Chains A and B, each alone.
Chain A
Amino acid sequence: MSDNRPLLEVKHLKEYFNINMGLFRSKPLKAVDDVSFFINKGETLGLVGESGCGKTTVGRTILHLYTPTSGEVIYDGKPIRTRADIKEFRKKATMVFQDPYSSLNPRMTVSDIIGEPLDVHGLCANKKERQERILELMDYVGLNSEHAARYAHEFSGGQRQRIGIARALAVNPDFIVCDEPVSALDVSIQAQVINMFDELQEKLGLTYLFIAHDLLVVRHISDRIAVMYLGKMVELAPASEIYDHPMHPYSKALLSAVPVPDPKVARANQRIVLSGDIPSPLNAPSGCPFRTRCRYATEACAAEMPEFREVTTGHFVACHRTAEIN
């Protein structure tokens, strides 16, 4: 599916938000803390983790919806730095949002919603061309042309998500950040939308960063999967590899906690139940962020954040004790 040329590279990306702690005092919330990875052309990289781990922030910071605190985003060999870079970049990279109910303007018709990116980037010479492009996009995502004049509230959740996807495709992008695009949908509709992402990727040669918390969905759609915990990336490997041989203690627990839709497997499953809650990112533990819930934690884990290194080909893990526990 993918040729081995990175389309997008993220180097030491950091995104800190300043939180007011009272008059004249503020504290950085390290939403994303030193994350590096790359995505090859035509590939789908799944990004998983629990709420508050920074996966959405990674997606938004890549698109410069948030200005990165430090670090670099390199697209097609060119770093994104100036405003002009960003504008140019946003013609190539777009986003599909989680909630199809709040991400569409209720006062705009479907054709206005899909046409807006065309207007912003001045991609259509005249009205006729614009209209044709809108209808073509609607056809891509399986919407009828008669839907063009309707408003978003007239559609079901699945159809709204199709409108959101058509909008993301309007600028003819190469790269799409999909932020939990199916988690608000019912099971029977979810499969339709997942298939559509698959088909569009084949047809248009798209590259996805697919952010989700549903691990079954992510495994289905991704070529490689990255796991995040409290702003840090703890493991990254090809999809089948991470499911069959997770190496980081957090990935192990996360994968074993997924309820399998098969009663016999579910009853026999030895779940690793983690104790405690995710610490607040405002008071993240020193060293490895997972050490407070990790049964293998030692003093070394508290002292220093383990390096994110390649253990076997293409399999990256950030854990001091990788060799001992696997």
Chain B
Amino acid sequence: MALLEVRHLQTSFFTDAGEVKAVNDISFNLERGKVLGIVGESGSGKSVTAYSIMQILAGTGKIVGGSIKLDGQELVGAGEKVMKNVRGNRISIIFQDPMTSLNPTYTIGKQLTEAIMLHTDKRGAEAKARAVELLKLVGINEPEKRLKQYPFEHSGGMRQRVMIAMALACEPDILIADEPTTALDVTIQAQILELMSSLQKELGMAIIMITHALGVVAQMCDEIIVMYAGSICEQGTADEIFYNPCHEYTKGLMRSIPTADTAGRKLQPITGTPIDLLNMPEGCPFAPRCDNAMKICIRHRAERMLINDSHAANCWMNVKKGVEKGEIILDEEGGAYCE
């Protein structure tokens, strides 16, 4: 049994303009000790997926369907009492912006011991000792001195380390990192990614890494989910996604990033603009921007198709490719079967 099983998760925001299906029927598994990357552009639903797992959605947001199972225990509809025990204890989250996710009016020590006291029996000197231990774990020098300081006395990289320390206070099974390095500089990003890798190995926890940077997922992740307009386009191992992309959107993304080979040449961008979630088309959400869109793409959304044991994609192009290769045969009524 997987550590975390998400099935047909649907999360919507009910706004004045109508229902926004931010996450629209997504399913995935997270195994113990693995790093799962969720990539996508702004508005693709990657952060909402994370907030749905933690059930920390904004007031207008609601999980409208599907199931989230942690170690077999259903979390959707389980109630606030269960979730309080899950959050911080079993699943922790760190946010994008280390500048705003700490309270500026309390010391680092107060905020860190608060998390420890909330989730464990440790009090007073014991809690403080644990805080010092955690700061040491995330590579902060002179932890005793740092505990007495306020967030403004720390740089962005240091604050993100403090956030990680706070998230690790109860040694969670799953750490969700929502764009943990986007606000940081390149050399500081390298420090934080290295820290997360070594902690993951040391503590054996699973990480869900949410980011728009393909470089970060390539470096960190075992498995990758690519999201577009609230749905999963493609999921598989890192090598499969990068070396054998099977969804037109993923292919487009890979082509559009500048690399050593593109210097002096034109990039191949994805045309058009991101989709308006209030006016979702009937078929594949990427079809309006897809250069290879076929009639079926506009009418019907592609189901999840297995490419191999460690790779699945929701794209009709795979059927077309299969037919061309003779792996899929069309019968006279237009149905298809596999050889």
Interface residues of A (CB under 8 A from B): 50-51, 156, 158-159, 186-192, 194-195, 198, 213, 215-217, 219-221, 239-240, 243, 253-254, 256-267, 269, 271, 273-275, 277-278
| Alpha-carbon distance A216/B214, docked complex (angstroms) | 12
Instruction: Answer yes or no: B253 CB below 8 A from chain A CBs.
Output: yes
Contact between A188 and B270, CB atoms less than 8 A apart: yes
Instruction: Answer yes or no: B268 CB below 8 A from chain A CBs.
Output: yes
Contact between B218 and A261, CB atoms less than 8 A apart: yes
| Alpha-carbon distance A186/B262, docked complex (angstroms) | 19
Nearest to B267 among chain A residues (CB) is: A191
Instruction: Report the minimal beta-carbon distance from B152 to chain A, rounded to whole angstroms.
Output: 13
| Alpha-carbon distance A156/B41, docked complex (angstroms) | 13
Give 25 A-B contacts (CB < 8 Å), ordered by A residue: A50-B186, A186-B274, A187-B212, A188-B253, A188-B269, A188-B270, A191-B258, A192-B269, A192-B271, A194-B269, A239-B263, A240-B263, A257-B189, A258-B186, A258-B215, A259-B193, A259-B215, A259-B219, A262-B242, A263-B238, A266-B219, A269-B219, A271-B190, A273-B191, A277-B157
Contact between B269 and A195, CB atoms less than 8 A apart: yes
DSSP majority for the A interface?
A: helix
Whether A186 contacts B41 in the complex (CB less than 8 A), given A253-B187, A259-B193, A273-B194, comes out as yes
| Alpha-carbon distance A253/B190, docked complex (angstroms) | 10
Interface residues on B, range: 35 or more
Contact between A220 and B258, CB atoms less than 8 A apart: yes
Whether A194 contacts B41 in the complex (CB less than 8 A), given A271-B194, A277-B157, comes out as no
Across-interface contacts of B267 in A (CB, < 8 A): 191, 194-195, 220
B185, B218, B258, B271: the one within 8 Å of A194 (CB)? B258
| Alpha-carbon distance A187/B190, docked complex (angstroms) | 20
Across-interface contacts of B238 in A (CB, < 8 A): 263
B188, B194, B243: the one within 8 Å of A277 (CB)? B188
Across-interface contacts of B239 in A (CB, < 8 A): 263-264
Instruction: Report the minimal beta-carbon distance from A248 to chain B, rounded to whole angstroms.
Output: 13
| Alpha-carbon distance A190/B213, docked complex (angstroms) | 12
Instruction: Answer yes or no: B260 CB below 8 A from chain A CBs.
Output: yes
Nearest to A198 among chain B residues (CB) is: B266
Across-interface contacts of B155 in A (CB, < 8 A): 277-278
| Alpha-carbon distance A287/B177, docked complex (angstroms) | 39
Most buried by A among B189, B191, B218, B243: B218
Nearest to B194 among chain A residues (CB) is: A273
Instruction: Answer yes or no: B257 CB below 8 A from chain A CBs.
Output: yes
Q: Which 10 A-B pairs have the closest CB atoms?
A: A259-B215, A191-B269, A220-B258, A191-B256, A257-B190, A50-B185, A188-B270, A261-B214, A266-B219, A186-B41
| Alpha-carbon distance A278/B217, docked complex (angstroms) | 26
Across-interface contacts of B257 in A (CB, < 8 A): 187, 191, 216, 261
- Within 159-200 of B, Cβ neighbours of A (below 8 Å) are at 185-191, 193-194
| Alpha-carbon distance A270/B218, docked complex (angstroms) | 15
| Alpha-carbon distance A198/B238, docked complex (angstroms) | 32
Contact between A263 and B269, CB atoms less than 8 A apart: no
Across-interface contacts of B254 in A (CB, < 8 A): 261
Nearest to A275 among chain B residues (CB) is: B191
Contact between A195 and B266, CB atoms less than 8 A apart: yes
| Alpha-carbon distance A198/B269, docked complex (angstroms) | 13
